[in-house]
Amino acid sequence: MRALRAEGRRALVCYVTAGHPTPADSVRLIRELPAAGCDVLEVGIPFSDPLADGPIIQGSSQKALAQGVNLERALGIIAEAKASAPVVLFSYLNPLMKAGPDVLARAHAAGVSGVLVTDLPVGADPAREAWLGSGPLEFVRLVAPTTPRERMAEIAKHGSGFVYLISRLGVTGVHQGAAVDVGETVARLRAVCALPICVGFGIAMPEQARRVADVADGVVVGSALVQTVETQGVDAALDLVRAIRAAMDAR
């Protein structure tokens, strides 16, 4: 991300749900998204109670679970795809805990570079946070738009790789515009954080991504991509990523 910024470009982070719409489609997406312009892949682990996710990603998780895709099979999908971009495992805490103490090492061996846990805020469980932070994967932390500056500094201190800044309150989903105060929120976070800052939640269209790329180090696209691959197929999802990449590069 820093290398991209030095070139005047920004990172495009793409979220896909492992095993959705099918395991074969998932392998193809993970393999081909980097060539379409994706710089970092977030691979979501299907979970039965995805509280932070909106209906699109919830639905994709349920469809993947119905096909038998759990964390172990997700690692197999990642290993088979052999992505040419860094992969961040996007998970709730429960699947990681059930997978055993060596799950981070197994994920790394499968080709994963980072992990983001949606329901583990800083200070909530120091032992598990230490386990995640001392493992072989970068430990990406979440920051909400309402987070006070002092709390932002604490979160940044306990994370690595990049910081995922949520652009709006609520669950994931497709919205018509990014939060209007995202620039101010990025500025507050950047004042206390040396890590690259990626902004997500609700970014669905090229113009939205371009505006966010004006202030952040990276742009996260999730629900729009998941929805497109389900309703229109893998090729259409790749075309969406190409369009978003072109808009970000045209800044």
Looking at residue 5, its amino acid is: R
> Chain-centre distance of CA 29, in angstroms?
15
Total residue length of the chain: 251
How far apart are the C-alpha atoms of 114 and 77, rounded to whole Å? 16
The enclosing H or E element of 124 equals: none
**Cα 35 from chain centroid?**
18
Give CA–CA dist 249/105, Å, rounded: 35
- Of 33, 53, 118, 63, nearest to 230 (Cα)? 63
> Which member of 53, 129, 138, 217 is catalytic?
53
Confirm whether 72 is a catalytic residue: no
Catalytic residue among 7, 25, 32, 42: 42
Grouping H, G, I as helix, E, B as strand and the rest as coil, residue 74 is helix
Which H or E run contains 173?
none
Q: Are 182 and 215 in contact (CB under 8 A)?
A: yes
Q: Is 235 a catalytic residue?
A: no
Q: How far is CA 207 from CA 16, 56, 86, 204, 219, in A?
A: 21, 21, 25, 9, 12
Buried residues in 175-208 as b, exposed as e (16+ CB within 10 A): beebbeebbebbebbbeebebbbbbbbbbbbbeb
Enumerate the active-site residues. 42, 53
